[in-house]
């Protein structure tokens, strides 16, 4: 009854709310000269927020970035509702086919995935080899005192706890990088599971988001899982040293992640830098890319607008890189920067280079 | 008789009525228009609800077509959910949904009925009754993510300790924990409806039983419960509907594995939770479509359970 008594007021409130929302929407989609729109990866959102705030202070250009996930960003770019997308993985064949026209991948920063665990006692630096990690996540190694683990961790007191595997339950770029790595180092993993943002896990429990996996690991003695390096650093979690392709055991850090990207990259930069050849590189690392159309004259966009977009991305990979380390992102390596510059210069307006 | 009528005609009251009616006749045309407009509005809003539900179902069906084409009916009893190889089977999630919902219902019924009987019969008024009633209603108002957190931080360690004592793999997380959380969340629905139903039992019925020497327990057992059973069952149905669709709290404590559950302590997953987890990053057509088909299956399961429930309520009422 109370509702009906206030019906008039309720209707008025509702109308007001709708008007406000529509107004907001219209403002978001307005293509004015000083606003650029982006959407995608939530992993890079903290870095982008900082970068774009600085860029706005410097140039007066507003960048409106919506952190809706890589898949969503790609979809928005396909529908041409944003100027650029951002993704933690390169476009797959189906996504590229949907675009129908060439899309440029411009590396923005790197991130890494760390293997975190919960062992009682002072075990904050155990070492793992690729085959051990694959066997644990395949469910083949089920206890911590397995001879394979003991043999490379001499002098470390490892208890005989059963292993509980924790993985992401939501589709994510983190899972994509991690399973891509496992597919590269373990033929068994490649045939049985494969790689993707979500896979059919042979064993273990799923947690939603980095915090879900971290929660499972923290609560269960003997648990092992994987989270983003940034998340592990911010939450001071234990993570394992991992043996890379050159046989070195590497501690995941900003330097070793940047080093992982310091290899010869393909011209389109569409590559997972997992299991890197770099001698000091951490093997479970990956790029986040900004995605733009190669031909910028679409949907009646002006040359000026295209120039503004490219200048922003150029600034991101040069001056903008100083904001990476304070926020625990790994800056681009020299090689990655070289390739990104070349790719940006290949963008065109009516077939003519923009930069 | 005649005299009376004459008397009435000349009474001041009659003139007053006459005035009112004259006024009414003048405005009758406008009134009729307003009446029909009101009726038409009601019909339009009612029909739009039906259209909405059918559009919802139609959308689900259309969007599921790619998945139906590539997987066929095998989708329903397939045991693997493998986005990498585009093989999708909904059976583990179907089982998980039904198992958690019914387990939650079984756990919640003693509580919701006890609350309904206490508030409806023993203590319908007073501060304690009000306090209990408002507290129970508050349970329904708490956002589900808060139950999820509470489950993860409090319930999971408790269940883990219990599992250790029972000698089961001590995950702490799984179908049993999810059912416990769900049970708490659905108690208010059956309890509130049950309370209203019990208060509506005509007092002559109860007084009759008391006058024949029945005790309070006997009145509840032989008069109140039989009289209200269809209402109580409707409350259970409402609870079940809530349990089937609950997403956030469940996904935080169920373990999210696509392996078929072997017992009530094993980890599992529900349809709603899979959709919530994987929808945003489903990166190819069949994958997305398989998730939408999962929504369709959930929709159909809900409809079937509701229809069975309505049938049972009808049977109860006819008896």
pLDDT in tens, B62-111: 999 999 999 989 999 999 999 999 999 999 999 999 999 999 999 999 99
- Cβ–Cβ of B281/A205 closer than 8 Å? no
Q: Residue B3 has what pLDDT?
A: 47
User: For chain B, how many residues are written?
Assistant: 319
- Is A338 in CB contact (< 8 Å) with chain B? no
Residue of A nearest to B161 (CA): A220
Strand ranges for A196-333 from DSSP E: 205-207, 223-228, 241-243, 249-250, 285-293
Residues A200 and A142: beta-carbon distance below 8 Å: no
Q: Residue B202 has what pLDDT?
A: 92
Q: Helix or strand or coil: residue A227? A: strand
Residues B277 and B58: beta-carbon distance below 8 Å: no
How many other CB atoms are there within 10 angstroms of residue A334's CB atom?
10
**Residues in CB range of B168: below 8 A, 6 or more apart:** B263, B265
Tokens, residue B164: 């250790």
- Is B256 in CB contact (< 8 Å) with chain A? yes
Residues B256 and A205: beta-carbon distance below 8 Å: yes
Per domain, the residue ranges of chain B are 2-63, 70-318
Q: Residue A355 has what pLDDT?
A: 83
Tokens, residue A146: 């397995």
Q: Residue A1 has what pLDDT?
A: 41
Q: How far apart are CA A323 and CA A329, in angstroms?
A: 8
Q: How far apart are CA B207 and CA B197, in angstroms?
A: 17
Structural element, H or E, at residue A128: strand A127-128
List helix spans (H) across A261-326: 303-317
| Cα first-last separation, chain B | 49
Q: What is B70-318's CATH number?
A: 1.10.3720.10
Q: What is the C-alpha R_g of chain B? A: 28
Closest CA to A88 of A205, A195, A240, A203: A195
Q: Which of B257, B258, B282 sits opposite A171 (nearest CB)?
A: B282
Q: Residue A219 has what pLDDT?
A: 87
CA A288 to centroid of chain Cα atoms: 5
Place B23 in a pLDDT band, splitting at 50, 70 and 90: low
Q: How far apart are CA B106 and CA B243, in angstroms?
A: 12
For tokens 């883990």, the residue is B160
**Mean confidence (pLDDT) of chain B:** 89
* Lowest mean per-residue pLDDT among B23-37, B149-163, B241-255: B23-37
- Cβ–Cβ of B278/A170 closer than 8 Å? yes
- Is A85 in CB contact (< 8 Å) with chain B? no
The predicted model gives B23-35 an average pLDDT of: 77
Q: Which of A68, A94, A170 sits opposite B284 (nearest CB)?
A: A94
Q: How far apart are CA A338 and CA A322, in angstroms?
A: 17
- Is A213 in CB contact (< 8 Å) with chain B? no
Residue of A nearest to B173 (CA): A205
- DSSP annotation of A85: E
Q: Return the half-sphere exposure (C-beta side, CA atoms, 13 A cut-off) of residue A80.
A: 13
Q: ipTM score here?
A: 0.81
DSSP chain B: -HHHHHHHHTSHHHHHHHHHHHHHHHTHHHHHHHHHHHHHHHHHHHHHHHHHHHHHHHHHHHHHHHHHHHHTTHHHH---EETTTTEE--HHHHHHHHHHHHHHHHHHHHHHHHHHHIIIII--SSHHHHHHHHHHHHHHHS-HHHHHHHIIIIIHHHHHHHHHHHTS-----SHHHHHHHHHHHHHHHHHHHHHHHHHTS-HHHHHHHHHTT--HHHHIIIIIHHHHHHHHHHHHHHHHHHHHH--HHHHHHSB---SPP-STTS-B--HHHHHHHHSTT--SHHHHHHHHHHHHHHHHHHHHHHHHHHHHHHHHHH-
- Cβ–Cβ of A219/B85 closer than 8 Å? no
**Set of chain B residues whose Cβ sits within 8 Å of the Cβ of A208:** 251-252, 256, 277
How many other CB atoms are there within 10 angstroms of residue A109's CB atom?
28
Place B314 in a pLDDT band, splitting at 50, 70 and 90: confident
Tokens, residue A176: 């994509």
**Set of chain B residues whose Cβ sits within 8 Å of the Cβ of A171:** 83, 277-278, 280-283
- Is A209 in CB contact (< 8 Å) with chain B? no
Residues A340 and A332: beta-carbon distance below 8 Å: yes
- Cβ–Cβ of A197/B80 closer than 8 Å? no
Q: Residue A27 has what pLDDT?
A: 43
**Set of chain A residues whose Cβ sits within 8 Å of the Cβ of B157:** 219
For tokens 């808060």, the residue is B146
Q: Residue B20 has what pLDDT?
A: 63
Q: Residue B1 has what pLDDT?
A: 44
Q: How far apart are CA B243 and CA B302, in angstroms?
A: 10
> How far does A69 lie from chain B, in Å, by closest CA?
7
Q: How far apart are CA B207 and CA B211, in angstroms?
A: 6
Give yes or no for residue B259 having a pLDDT over 50.
yes
* Lowest mean per-residue pLDDT among A75-79, A337-341, B8-12, B48-52: B8-12
| Cα first-last separation, chain A | 65
Tokens, residue A3: 């509702």
The predicted model gives B299-303 an average pLDDT of: 94
| CA B319 vs CA B229, B237, B312, B313, B315: distances in Å | 11, 20, 11, 10, 6
> How far does A169 lie from chain B, in Å, by closest CA?
6
A contact test, residue of B151, B163, B250, B256 with most A CBs within 10 A? B256
B contact test, residue of A169, A208, A216 with most B CBs within 10 A? A169
How many other CB atoms are there within 10 angstroms of residue A257's CB atom?
29
DSSP A24-39: HHHHHH---TTEEEEE
**Residues in CB range of B101: below 8 A, 6 or more apart:** B182, B240, B243, B244
Give the B window 163-222 contacts with A, CB below 8 Å. 171-173
With a cut of 70, list the residues of chain A below it in pLDDT: 1-32, 122-123
Q: Residue B2 has what pLDDT?
A: 47
Main-chain phi, psi angles of A87, to 5 degrees:
-140, 145
Q: How far apart are CA B307 and CA B302, in angstroms?
A: 9
- Is B151 in CB contact (< 8 Å) with chain A? no
Closest CA to A82 of A95, A65, A100, A61: A65
Q: Are strands B81-82 and B87-88 parallel, antiparallel or unpaired?
A: antiparallel
């Amino acid at each position: 009854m109370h509702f009906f008594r206030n019906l008039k007021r309720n209707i008025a409130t509702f109308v007001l709310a709708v008007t406000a929302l529509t107004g907001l929407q219209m403002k978001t989609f307005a293509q004015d000269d000083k606003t650029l729109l982006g959407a995608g990866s939530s992993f890079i959102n903290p870095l982008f927020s900082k970068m774009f705030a600085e860029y706005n202070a410097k140039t007066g250009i507003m960048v409106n970035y919506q952190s809706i996930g890589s898949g969503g960003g790609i979809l928005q770019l396909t529908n041409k509702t944003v100027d650029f997308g951002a993704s933690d993985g390169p476009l797959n064949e189906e996504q590229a086919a949907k675009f129908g026209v060439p899309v440029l991948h411009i590396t923005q920063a790197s991130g890494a995935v760390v293997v975190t665990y919960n062992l009682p006692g002072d075990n904050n630096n155990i070492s793992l080899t690729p085959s051990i990690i694959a066997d644990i996540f395949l469910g083949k190694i089920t206890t911590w005192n397995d001879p394979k683990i003991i043999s490379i961790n001499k002098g470390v007191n490892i208890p005989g706890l059963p292993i509980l595997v924790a993985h992401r339950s939501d589709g994510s770029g983190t899972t994509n990088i991690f399973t891509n790595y496992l597919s590269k180092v373990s033929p068994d993993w490649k045939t049985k599971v494969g790689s993707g943002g979500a896979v059919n896990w042979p064993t273990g429990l799923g947690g939603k988001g980095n915090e879900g996996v971290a929660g499972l690991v923290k609560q269960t003695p003997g648990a092992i899982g994987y989270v983003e390096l940034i998340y592990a650093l911010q939450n001071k979690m234990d993570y394992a040293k991992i043996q890379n392709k050159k046989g070195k055991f590497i501690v995941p850090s900003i330097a070793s992640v940047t080093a992982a990207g310091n290899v010869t990259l393909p011209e389109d930069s569409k590559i997972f830098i997992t299991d890197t050849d770099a001698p000091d590189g951490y093997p479970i690392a990956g790029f986040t890319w900004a995605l733009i159309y190669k031909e910028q004259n679409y949907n009646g966009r002006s040359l000026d607008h295209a120039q503004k977009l490219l200048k922003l991305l150029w600034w991101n990979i040069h001056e903008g890189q100083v904001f990476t380390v304070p926020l625990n992102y790994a800056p681009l390596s020299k090689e990655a920067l070289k390739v990104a510059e070349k790719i940006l210069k290949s963008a065109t307006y009516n077939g003519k280079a923009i930069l | 008789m005649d005299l009376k009528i004459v008397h009435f005609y000349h009474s001041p009251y009659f003139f007053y009525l006459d005035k009112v009616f004259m006024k009414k006749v003048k405005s009758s045309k406008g009134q009729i228009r307003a009446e029909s407009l009101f009726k038409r509005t009601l019909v339009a809003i009612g029909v739009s609800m039906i259209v909405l539900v059918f559009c919802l179902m139609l959308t689900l069906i259309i969007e599921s077509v790619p998945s139906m084409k590539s997987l066929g009916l095998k989708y329903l009893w397939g045991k693997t959910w493998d986005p990498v190889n585009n093989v999708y089977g909904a059976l583990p999630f179907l089982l998980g949904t039904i198992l958690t919902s019914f387990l939650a219902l079984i756990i919640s019924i003693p509580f919701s009925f006890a609350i309904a009987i206490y508030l409806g019969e023993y203590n319908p008024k007073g501060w304690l009754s009000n306090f209990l009633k408002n507290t129970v209603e508050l349970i329904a108002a708490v956002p589900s993510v808060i139950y999820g957190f509470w489950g993860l931080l409090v319930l999971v360690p408790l269940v883990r300790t219990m599992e250790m004592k029972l000698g089961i793999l001590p995950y702490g997380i799984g179908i049993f924990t999810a059912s416990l959380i769900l049970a708490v969340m659905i108690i208010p629905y059956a309890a509130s409806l049950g309370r209203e139903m019990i208060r509506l039992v005509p007092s002559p019925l109860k007084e009759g039983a008391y006058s024949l020497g029945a005790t309070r327990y006997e009145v509840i057992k032989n008069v109140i419960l039989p009289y209200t059973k269809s209402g109580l069952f409707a409350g259970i149905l409402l609870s079940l509907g809530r349990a089937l669709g609950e997403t956030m709290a469940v996904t935080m404590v169920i373990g999210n594995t696509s392996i078929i559950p072997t017992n009530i302590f094993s980890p599992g997953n529900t349809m709603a939770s899979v959709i919530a987890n994987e929808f945003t990053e489903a990166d190819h057509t069949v994958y997305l479509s398989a998730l939408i088909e999962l929504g369709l299956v959930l929709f159909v399961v809900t409809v079937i359970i509701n229809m069975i429930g309505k049938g049972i309520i009808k049977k109860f009422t006819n008896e």
